[in-house]
Amino acid sequence: MELFASRRFRPGRASSRGIVLPMTPPNAAIDNRDTPDYDGTLRAIADRLASWEGPIVVVAHVDPDGDALGSALTVARALRALGKDVTLPMEVPDYLAFLVEDGETSAPLEALPEGTLLCVLDVADEARIAGAPTDGAAFVVNVDHHGTNARFGDLALVTPSAAATAILAKDLVDALPVAWTADLATPCLTGVLTDTGTFRNANTDARAFAVAQDLVAHGVDYAALSDRLQWRPPAYLKMLAEALATLRLPFGGRCAMAEVSLAAKARIGGAKDENDDVIDAIRYVEGSYVAVLLKQKEDAVKISVRSRPPVSAQAICVAMGGGGHVPAAGAKLEGSDLDAARARVEAEVGRELARHGLTPDA
């Protein structure tokens, strides 16, 4: 397969309605149990998808990353290969657009077609589903790896021990009567690569390596894909420089914090902060346990947090109404006041550091 011939790749019953679980409150305890009957639930989801005669809508979370897009694209392509009527409503970030064929994604749906099976991937909280409403779905499938997932839907495959939802998507495609191709494997491997930080993050395990090995064996050009995922426009690098100029090291250097302000964006023009390059640049400050990036929006400040043991990024963000994983999480604070957001984040970081005896005076 010619990976860069263009800027895009060329594609080649366990429960019934009514078992929807209540949403987890923002400050509730985190539930890190895996799906008790993984194989049985996986088989039930695969059978349901393969036998579904009506439309299928595949969705992921707002501001999709590589795992959200990769998982959704893998499942959507597999279902289309089975002849299913599949819609993938998603706004694809520019840095991942090379993965998507023209016409593969659509604009957000205001309403679901009658008789729709809604397949939700990589979404811990129903409120973060993007692209389509949940109301009106005839059946809801929930496949995810976030520990804060409330197991919503009719069938839920939630496995926090998986490094990426793409790993679950790989198992799901394995269970479907469809042959693997490079066009299925490439977005799937993208999800694994991005959520493990190209196998550098703490969630990287033997399972992630084994899945990657299988996907490469299905024809993925690993070197070309991993290189392409690092491409960035010049304006983005200028924004990275602006952010690094704001670097602060509170708590005696145990925290590395930077920000991207609206003023910085205006000075550069044309830069988008749709990926995690900035926080990945500061997370390796020597002696730090936590990295925090504040991204100022017109009406809110988005918070990205990364941590290394024993500190939990998840605990910090859940305290601010957000969520995610223990080593990587995020939150959104309403209002565009950077000073107020910075103070709130520092307070939560301080509490988490103190919990582990890592504050300078501990």
Q: How many CA atoms lie within 13 A of 138 on its CB side?
A: 13
Please count the other Cβ atoms lying within 10 Å of the Cβ belonging to residue 319: 18
Residue written as tokens 């605990």? 315
* Per-residue pLDDT tens digits for 272-309: 665 567 898 899 999 999 999 999 999 999 999 999 99
Comparing 36-45, 188-197, 274-283, 293-302, which segment has the lowest mean pLDDT? 274-283
Average pLDDT rounded to a whole number, residues 87-113: 96
Domain ranges in the chain?
38-228, 234-355
Long-range contact pairs involving 352-360 (C-beta distance under 8 Å, separation at least 24): 352/290, 352/311, 352/312, 352/315, 352/316, 353/251, 353/254, 353/255, 353/289, 353/290, 353/311, 355/315, 356/310, 356/311, 358/251, 358/254, 358/289, 358/311, 359/251, 359/252, 359/254, 360/251, 360/252, 360/254
Mean pLDDT (the chain, rounded): 88
Measured between alpha carbons, how far is 98 from 172 in angstroms, rounded to an integer?
A: 24
Q: Class of 38-228 per CATH?
A: alpha beta
Predicted local distance difference test score (pLDDT) of residue 278: 86
pTM confidence score = 0.83
Residue 270: pLDDT band (50, 70, 90) is low
Comparing 1-10, 53-62, 168-177, which segment has the lowest mean pLDDT? 1-10
Q: Is the pLDDT of residue 189 over 50?
A: yes
Predicted local distance difference test score (pLDDT) of residue 202: 85
CA 333 to chain centre: 19
CATH code of the region 234-355: 3.10.310.30
